[in-house]
Structure 1
């Protein structure tokens, strides 16, 4: 009986892998992107944001990115995370009158938890913090203003009294869970205010409170009755769930090919993309989709390798992409994964520009930049480079002492990799920052390890205003998690795509609280 159950399990897993092919995933994404494009045309003035990382697949062009985690909205794990404040989204919504956020989910739900709960919690907490800020400002003005300003003060009071601080959740969230969230809103608001976030700038930018709206492929919209976004008494955060919810897999047929639709196909890209990125997909979307299921894998292999060769010839970071052989029985591709690639002569990317304009972020006046290794050439030549990637690269510097390579892996693979290398990173940074040199900290993603090292450097050698003081503030300050959160908020103000993992942040805290900074003669 056990062998029979095991064989049924293996068969079901094999069928699932066979359905979840590369072509099925990309074709599903392509079909869903049409819906996203239709919704975007309803409010073309509003900026379109991708919720990383799944959402990034569903449109050829986004104005900005954001990072709202579904896990922050999971039942019994509800949280407001000050390491993912996404304050740039609120500022952008205030400046443009609202914004649209794209995401998707595989789980058969209409919306991922990032849209059902994480973002509604975020909007409510921000609204409450803004209300508190305006209330305090009005009190101060009432104490110092002259009587001639009473009309302006009364107008400001009326504006604040009508500021909506209530929690807006979709109908499918239970009343029990809503009550759990409401009981924690005050504490989350206090955490936001204590984090050092620039609430004042957001309060000045937003004329109306934030409020989420939900749109999916099942939403009915009368095109002759689409409201103007500026007619609402709130600043809309329009949440677009890209995928259909008719089922996990749907067999579809066109005049050329048969394929299986996958809801939320853009999720967990490492398991299916074979090195293809969203930018690369949309550059070649027509050729990929028209190649069909049988030729898709080889087409993607050629595209990925040509892009890698082009980046290598331009002196950018370009590691070899390795792909595990598929375990599917009866693969739809005629070409084995391990076959040599048929590359034409030429780079294949000579006229392409770097797509990610935010690949390097300069942190105000700190003389520190942080970003992805492949964009390291984008910093001034007098910057020294701290490379935290596994692969080394030739830095554009005449002095070899201005380059340090520390191969650091994520905490999932080595719980102490960052902790072991932090003293060397801090000593390298201090030696060059003392001389007034600029410092670039880079890793493969520019969002995790490099951010954590930057956090350690800012905490160790800068005061709370971001001025280099050679460690004086660090000696006089007891390092707490709250202090680290404040510095991380400062970093996220400039590096809006920062996504440090909890495991790596724990290593930074362990290092700094244990006083692992060594002296430099």
Structure 2
């Protein structure tokens, strides 16, 4: 029998297994739901301190940012993706224009955008690169004569000079793609009061008293009439990028301290939250923080079920107009729709095409759920668009009790994905470039990506929460262009 090796003597095989199990148990206990919720609460307190110091409205970069903002202080939501700032994949999103933020910025002389990140990073790529790119693109598009506003500003402690220069080289192309949407820029410029944007960054490593006394503090003093307008921010609106979580240096995909603090605890909730959302957390914050770890799964399940019932009762009737003045709406399944409207319901089950028509003005399209539905959408759009076009071509009703305008309503499970894709297809197929219903004159109509992109730009500007996934948009493009 061979002599044992040194590592076998010091760490026999069973000990290796036990040590691995112990370390795994420790990691799981550190990353518990209890520790996540407590970490979120701590970070939310920091966000409130930032808002108090700078006196600017808080904007949640969804989905993560809403966990760190008390709904009573939340002024709105933004949709800046970290993937658009990943190294070598820099992008200016035409699907997420975030133009709805401009009135808030102009009215308050700035905003604070809140987000977080895991992995021991100082700040998420959405705040260090995506937002700065957005600021630079809008400045160049809206204020072409203000050359001082065209520079790309990035945080030097998070973005290297080399990477910043590579992003800057792409700005002309990003501006061209934005201008290709043919949006009316004058109202956007007016919303900002003629002042361009300037990004700044705040983390828990910063001294808030110094920030309040510096240029960022001067911005709100100038807004309130207490400042002289001098300093680095004179002539600019600050877009403050606030990283809610404290940086924890560690290994692996998540970093946690021995005391239980977890950086970016509100991220990737599908992996830990058991259906808990930011809204439910804030409504039941005290109960959740007071519960023991063993009690949380049942408590969360009960709260999620209760909120879901209330949401279905209260939110089903909310419709969003996605094309201004065209009577084209989207919403959730279950919404009440008037008898005179044309309604397209995208139900989450596959049904035979022969049974889709439920009435002269009602189409119930069964293409299933999620990504599978997005892929099957392409084959359904022809019937949907022709059904809607026939309704739009009907003679307008007359009489004092007749509705003032036709309405087309598209409903789906989320009110933001499939319904938006179908609304885009209807907008392209049924309306010409002047916004009139296409006539039945035998003229062949063709579409291209640029034209579809322009129409999508109109929709996301009118309805910033719209979130059609890539597969949905691919189905729409395929239907219109093939």
Q: TM-score range by the shorter chain?
A: 0.7 to 0.9
| Separation in 2, partners of 1:166, 1:477 | 42
Q: Which residue of 1 aligns with 2:152?
A: 167
Partner of 2:393: 434
TM norm structure 2: 0.80
Is it true that 1:510 corresponds to 2:478 in the alignment?
A: yes
Q: Which residue of 2 aligns with 1:386?
A: 344
Q: How many Å separate the matches in 2 of 1:12 and 1:427?
A: 61
Q: Structure 1 CA distance, aligned partners of 2:168 and 2:458?
A: 28
- Separation (CA, whole Å) in 2 of partners of 1:176 and 1:491: 36
Partner Cα separation in structure 1 for residue 95 and residue 59 of structure 2? 19
What CA distance in whole angstroms lies between the structure 1 residues aligned with 2:31 and 2:439?
54
Two-structure CA RMSD over aligned residues (Å) = 3.1
Q: CA deviation at 1:391?
A: 6.6
Residue deviations 1:22-52 (CA, integer Å, cap 9, x gap): 33322222221111111111233x3321111
CA 1:191–1:296 in 2, change beyond 3 Å: closer, same or farther? same
* CA distance in 2 between partners of 1:192 and 1:383 (Å): 34
1:490 correspondence with 2:453: no
Residue 198 (structure 1) aligned to one of 184, 191, 202: 184
How far has the Cα of 1:310 moved from its partner? Answer: 4.0
Per-residue deviation at 1:166? 0.8
Is 1:210 the equivalent of 2:197?
yes
1:225 aligned to 2:213? yes
Deviation of 1:105 (Å): 0.8
Q: Give the conservation status (yes or no) of the 8 Å contact 2:143–2:196.
A: no
| Equivalent in 43, 50, 53 of residue 63 of structure 2 | 53
State whether residues 108 and 245 of structure 1, in contact with CA within 8 Å, keep that contact through their aligned partners in structure 2. yes
Q: CA deviation at 1:416?
A: 2.2
Which ranges of structure 1 fall in alignment gaps of 5 or more residues? 133-159, 253-259, 318-353, 393-398, 515-521
Q: Does 1:35 align with 2:52?
A: no
Check whether the contact 1:22–1:273 (CA below 8 A) recurs between aligned residues: yes
Q: Deviations over 1:64-106 (max 9, x none)?
A: 1111111111111111121211111234312331111111111
Match of 2:257 in 1: 250
Shift of 1:464: 2.8
What is the CA–CA distance in structure 2 between the aligned matches of 1:361 and 1:79, rounded to whole Å? 28
Question: Which piece of structure 1 moves more, 496-505 or 428-437?
Answer: 428-437
What displacement does 1:9 show? 8.4
**Pick aligned residue for 2:377 from 418, 423, 432:** 418
Tell me if structure 1 keeps the 8 A contact 2:322–2:459. no
For this pair of structures, how many residues does the alignment match? Answer: 429
Structure 1 residue 404 displacement after superposition? 2.9
* Contact 1:366–1:468 (CA under 8 A) maintained in structure 2: no
Q: 1:13-412 alignment to 2 at 5 Å? A: 16-44=27-55, 46-61=56-71, 62-132=74-144, 160-161=145-146, 163-171=148-156, 172-206=158-192, 207-222=194-209, 225=213, 227-229=217-219, 230=222, 231=229, 232-233=233-234, 234-247=236-249, 248-252=255-259, 260-311=260-311, 314=313, 360-373=320-333, 376-377=335-336, 382-390=340-348, 400-408=359-367, 412=371
CA distance in 1, matches of 2:378, 2:24: 39
Shift in CA distance, 10/383, structure 1 to aligned 2, threshold 3 Å: farther
**For residues 310 and 199 of structure 1, do their structure 2 counterparts lie closer, same or farther at Cα, with a shift above 3 Å needed?**
closer
CA contact (8 A) 2:30 2:258 kept: no
CA distance in 2, matches of 1:221, 1:445: 39
Tell me: CA distance 1:457–1:38, structure 2 relative to 1, closer, same or farther (3 Å): same
Q: Give the gaps of 5 or more residues in structure 2.
A: 1-12, 223-228, 250-254, 351-357, 397-405
TM-score, normalised by the number of residues in structure 1: 0.75
Q: What does the per-residue CA deviation read over 1:200-255, in whole Å, with 9 as the maximum and x for residues that have no partner? A: 22222222211111011111222662523244221111111111112411243xxx
Tell me the alpha carbon deviations over residues 274-305 of structure 1, each in whole angstroms, 9 at most, x when there is no partner. 22222222111111111232222211111112
SS of 1:250's partner is coil
CA contact (8 A) 1:66 1:89 kept: yes
Do 2:256 and 2:263's aligned partners in 1 also have CA atoms closer than 8 Å? Answer: yes
> Quick one: distance in 2 between partners of 1:315 and 1:170?
43
